[in-house]
Amino acid sequence: MKTQSLNSIYHNISKQISLVESYTEIKDLSYIIKSCRLKPYDYLFKKKSPNLILYKWWVDEYGNSFKLNGKRVELTFNDLKVNKNNLVNTDLYSGLSIDNVLKISKLAYINTGVDEELYQKYYHINLLGIDNYLRSYLYMYDNLESIAPLTLGIKNLKLLAHHKDIKYFLTFKKKENNPIPCLQPEQWISSLPAHQDFIQEMNKHHPVIYNIFKENI
């Protein structure tokens, strides 16, 4: 398969992306599709149609699926129906450390809590780049790993899209906002570079986040 740049793909299917948002009547869905670097499965792996069609199956670079069931969006993580061998990473900055990703980011959305099954504290960190693409990480067991932005879920992605131009920071404590079933939930959406008030709160209550962000916030 010939590799296309992400910007080129989205330029070619801009009308199809708008059609999905119009069909589902979900505000900011076009923004969510692009920020999570989703692509139509048929566009990637089948003969491209010259006609304007409604793509109902989209995939990310991690092998997760975004499907339309009527007007509802359903997510399938680690979808076994996806041919992962042919997926191409279209994130130009995928090899950067989180320190360097922070330097090219303008927004942070952080979820934390204690996993209900493992009773382990975790941090779900999502960074919106100046290129409007999301990079996400999970910190757990003293380990930080890159994960799919789609793991935020549609509800939280809509929340992020709504606050993408924030200039300060917001604090939430809603269990339903966390992508992982948890106890002691907390969430923050903060502009980057972050305000000193946010820095002080992290330093006082969440040293893990403070230590990750301190060189860049």
pLDDT score, position 1: 37
- Mapped onto helix, strand or coil, the DSSP state of residue 140 is strand
- Mapped onto helix, strand or coil, the DSSP state of residue 204 is helix
159-163 average pLDDT score: 94
pLDDT at 174 over 80: no
The DSSP-derived string for 33-90 is HHHTT-EEHHHHHSPPPSS-----EEE-TTS-EEEEETTEEEEETT-TTS-GGG----
pLDDT at 180 over 90: no
pLDDT at 183 over 90: no
In which band, very low, low, confident or very high, does the pLDDT at 2 lie, cut at 50, 70 and 90?
Answer: very low
Lowest mean pLDDT segment, chosen from 26-35, 43-52, 96-105, 107-116? 43-52
pLDDT in tens, 60-91: 999 999 999 999 999 999 999 998 887 888 89
